[in-house]
């Protein structure tokens, strides 16, 4: 099948298929005499595998590791499990970081009057740290009592 058919059958865009070939995640497709890519059923299965791994958030490097394990019939499932659990740990770390961001933004929004005044603790907080690793400068107190 051609790249459009392989794309439709696998759920991976033609652009991504070409990219995966370019970076070596998948082998270059066979070509017709006129230069068109030709994909087999096995190629489509591999692309579906990649699509599912991508949907689960695996990086390209991790997908390469998983593909190699999938194709190695002598693999140990412990190796696959290790990759999956490492990915779970990364996801949980990201979740923790995102929850912290949400708490901070909720707190800042709770202290924003949301009215016609220009004072905004959200913008003050965003402007507070000018360089990574530096402590935020002391903030001037918000003006109170203005309506």
- What CATH number should be reported for the domain holding residue 51? 1.10.1660.10
CA torsion through residues 78, 84, 87, 92, sign: negative
Predicted confidence at residue 44, as pLDDT, reads 97
Question: Is 96 among the domain residues?
Answer: yes
- What does the pLDDT read at residue 18? 97
Domain count along the chain: 2
> Quick check: is 112 in a domain?
yes
Position 111 in a domain: yes
List the domain range (segments joined by +) for residue 8: 1-57
The predicted pLDDT at position 144 comes to 43
Predicted pLDDT of residue 141 = 46
- Let me know if residue 32 belongs to a domain: yes
| CB contact at 8 A, 17 and 7 | yes
Confidence (pLDDT) at 92: 98
| 50 and 102 part of one domain | no
> Is residue 69 in some structural domain?
no
Phi, psi of 74 (to 5 degrees): -95, 10
**115 and 82, same domain (yes or no):** yes
Same domain, 9 and 38: yes
Question: Per-residue pLDDT for the chain (147 aa), expressed as one digit of tens each?
Answer: 999 999 999 999 999 999 999 999 999 999 999 999 999 999 999 999 999 999 999 999 999 999 999 999 999 999 999 999 999 999 999 999 999 999 999 999 999 998 998 989 999 999 986 566 555 555 544 444 443
pTM of the model: 0.76
102 lies in some domain: yes
Residue 33 shares a structural domain with residue 81 = no
How far apart CA 43 and CA 35 sit, in angstroms, is: 18
Instruction: Please tell me whether residues 4 and 37 are part of one structural domain.
Output: yes
User: Looking up tokens 């001037």, which residue turns up?
Assistant: 140
**CB contact at 8 A, 2 and 37:** yes
What's the pLDDT score for residue 22?
Answer: 96
């Amino acid at each position: 099948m051609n790249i459009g058919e392989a794309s439709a059958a696998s759920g991976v865009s033609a652009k991504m298929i070409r990219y995966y070939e370019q970076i070596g995640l998948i082998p270059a497709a066979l070509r017709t005499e006129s230069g068109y890519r030709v994909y087999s059923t096995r190629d489509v299965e591999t692309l579906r595998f990649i699509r599912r791994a991508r949907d689960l958030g695996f990086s390209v490097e991790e997908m390469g590791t998983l593909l190699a394990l999938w194709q190695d019939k002598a693999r140990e499932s412990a190796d696959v499990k290790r990759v999956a659990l490492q990915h779970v740990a990364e996801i949980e770390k990201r979740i923790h970081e995102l929850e912290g961001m949400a708490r901070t933004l909720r707190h800042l929004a709770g202290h924003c009057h949301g009215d016609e005044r220009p004072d905004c603790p959200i913008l003050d907080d965003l402007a507070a740290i000018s360089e990574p690793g530096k402590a935020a400068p002391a903030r001037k107190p918000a003006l109170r009592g203005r309506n």
